[in-house]
Amino acid sequence: MEHLAVIILAAGLGKRMRSQQAKVLHRLAGKPLLAHVLHATQRLHPDRIVVVVGHQADEVQRLCGGGGIVFAHQPQQRGTGDAVRAARSVLHDFRGDVLIVCGDTPLLTTATLARFIQSHRQQRATLSVLTAYLDDPSHYGRVIRAADGQIQKIVEAHDASPAERAVREINTGIYCVQAEFLFAALERLQPLNAQGEYYLTDIVAQAVAARLPTQALRLAEAQEIGGINTREELARMEKIRQAQLRSRWMAAGVTLQDPDTVYIDEEVTIGPDTIIGPNTQLKGNTTIGARCRIDGSAYIENCRIGNDVHLRFAVVLTDSELGDHTTIGPFAHLRDGVVLAPRAEIGNFVEVKHSSIGEHTKAKHLAYLGDAEIGRDTNIGAGTITCNYDGFRKHKTKIGDRVQVGSDTTLVAPVTIHDDVYIATATTVRHDVPAGALVFNARTEEIREGWTAAKRAKEAAKKA
Ligand code: UD1
Ligand code: CA
């Protein structure tokens, strides 16, 4: 078994993003750019992965740490060659092949990298570089080949002659290099170029000069090696990735009624025979079960949604758990740790926050339920409000099983309504109610006959 180490370059700020945030932390399909590259390389099962960090190193490590990844610091960003050299301290005892990739190429696939490494090994190459043809090679380094097709060197766009600039074969920034040669060659780099940087690309000419087996392997499909340097490139990549994710879920048995308007983050999973209507955003760590119906205009973030759930038109759901056969909406908002037991129903203009709701319980119209614990087979009438905040603290409302909460009820927390209670309409409940009781506010109802006509006559007299 040959050994493999991966170095991911992620120290740069990415000036062209014009951002306070390091480039590799910008998100594609909800996941930091670097995390995409990390996942693609982790699936190669390398012996080690080293991420070279610099700008916002702490944040990069926090977002992309774990999984046996080692971080190396590049204190000053003096070029890609200097960046790889920074990884030397953690790879000094490593013998084998080093795969070098950049942290800003999120569409890179494990399959492409595996083929690249395989070719490097079959050719017994000391250095392999992955290249591609681009119609617009713009700022990429150009691959310069001799008449016999053998690679000679890579020239950066800044340093290229007009003839070199016309070359359409570019350096993807992905290399596979034998460790011993790599670290020796890095010591010989000189920053003698237009940008005054230590160019990693210069090791190609070194390998050629030393007559070491060097290959440039051209990738037929250039899309996946695209790097992100600007916001515009980020948006373009997002489009490409969204198209891939939609295809993936449709192939897995999910209906997207208008695919172009459905946005799916990388970590989302969706069960078969789920039907998703237009303008739906599925964000973060969301899982959706089988046979669900999402009618459209839904924003769903970090939710676990069971099977056979029906989300009617226009719902916003965050950090919540929906049991099987639940129904939400239209126009409902669940947030901040709502847990719905199976077959619960949340209807029009209902907001639920940090509450658990039992099986078969319904809140179908105009309600606010916050910090509530509600049992099963309970009915929450229209206009029910949990007064959970006294201006200083949040308090709990507990409601048992088979409770009838009348319309226009205000529940002043902390308060407990035990099982089988009947709350009359328009009641303000300030005290705990024992099981099976009726609770109402004593009020007298008065009816004054002929009052409207008398009032109108009085007003008309004033005007005259
Ligand atoms: C580099 C290549 C170019 C290639 C292109 C592919 C060099 C000199 N040029 O150019 O041939 O076509 O990538 O995308 O290598 N980085 C560091 N530390 C540094 C400088 C860069 O960690 O000091 C990291 C960046 O964070 C980034 C990656 O290296 O992830 C590439 O750097 P970038 O400045 O984007 O290189 P390019 O100019 O695009
Ligand atoms: Ca780049």
pLDDT tens digits along 339-380: 999 999 999 999 999 999 999 999 999 999 999 999 999 999
Q: In whole angstroms, give the CA distance from residue 200 to residue 203.
A: 6
Where does the pLDDT of residue 76 fall: very low under 50, low under 70, confident under 90, or very high at 90 and above? very high
**What pLDDT is stored for residue 376 in this prediction?**
98
The stretch 21-47 carries a mean pLDDT of: 96
**What pLDDT is stored for residue 428 in this prediction?**
98
Structure tokens at 5: 């180490």
The stretch 259-265 carries a mean pLDDT of: 98
pLDDT at 464 over 90: no
**What pLDDT is stored for residue 66 in this prediction?**
79
Ligand nearest to the CA of 157: 1
The stretch 105-133 carries a mean pLDDT of: 98
Structure tokens at 225: 């090696």
Predicted model pTM: 0.92
> Among all chains, which residue has been given the structure tokens 């009624």?
257
The stretch 287-292 carries a mean pLDDT of: 98
- Residue 315, judged by CB atoms within 10 A of its CB (0-12, 13-18, 19+), counts as buried
Q: In whole angstroms, give the CA distance from residue 294 to residue 313.
A: 7
How much of the chain exceeds pLDDT 90, in percent?
96
330-346 residue pLDDT tens:
999 999 999 999 999 99
Is 365 among the catalytic positions?
A: yes
pLDDT at 131 over 70: yes
**What pLDDT is stored for residue 65 in this prediction?**
80
Are the CB atoms for 378 and 405 separated by under 8 Å? Answer: yes
330: three-class secondary structure by DSSP: coil
Which atom of ligand 1 is the closest one to the Cα of 83? 18
- 273 conformational bin, left if phi > 0, alpha if psi -120 to 50, beta if neither: left
Q: How does the average pLDDT of the chain come out, rounded?
A: 97
Q: Whose CA is nearest to atom 37 of ligand 1?
A: 140
**What pLDDT is stored for residue 159 in this prediction?**
97
Q: Which of 37, 102, 158 to mutate to test the pocket of ligand 1 (most atoms within 8 A of CB)?
A: 102
Structure tokens at 50: 């080293």
Q: Pick the catalytic residue from 365, 395, 418, 431.
A: 365
The stretch 266-278 carries a mean pLDDT of: 98
Which atom of ligand 1 is the closest one to the Cα of 104? 30
Domain 231-439 indexed as CATH 3.30.200.20: no
Residues with CB under 6 A from ligand 1: 9-12, 52, 74, 77-80, 82-83, 102-104, 140-141, 154, 156, 170-173, 199-201, 227, 229
**What pLDDT is stored for residue 1 in this prediction?**
64
The stretch 51-65 carries a mean pLDDT of: 92
**What pLDDT is stored for residue 64 in this prediction?**
84
> Among all chains, which residue has been given the structure tokens 């964000």?
283
Please, which residues have CB less than 5 A from ligand 2, an ion?
227
User: How many whole angstroms from 90 Cα to the centroid of ligand 2?
Assistant: 24
Are the CB atoms for 166 and 88 separated by under 8 Å? Answer: no
Q: Whose CA is nearest to atom 36 of ligand 1?
A: 80
Superfamily of domain 4-225: Spore Coat Polysaccharide Biosynthesis Protein SpsA; Chain A (3.90.550.10)
Phi then psi for residue 40, to 5 deg, are -65, -35
The domain ranges of the chain are: 4-225, 231-439
**What pLDDT is stored for residue 67 in this prediction?**
78
423-444 residue pLDDT tens:
999 999 999 999 999 999 998 9
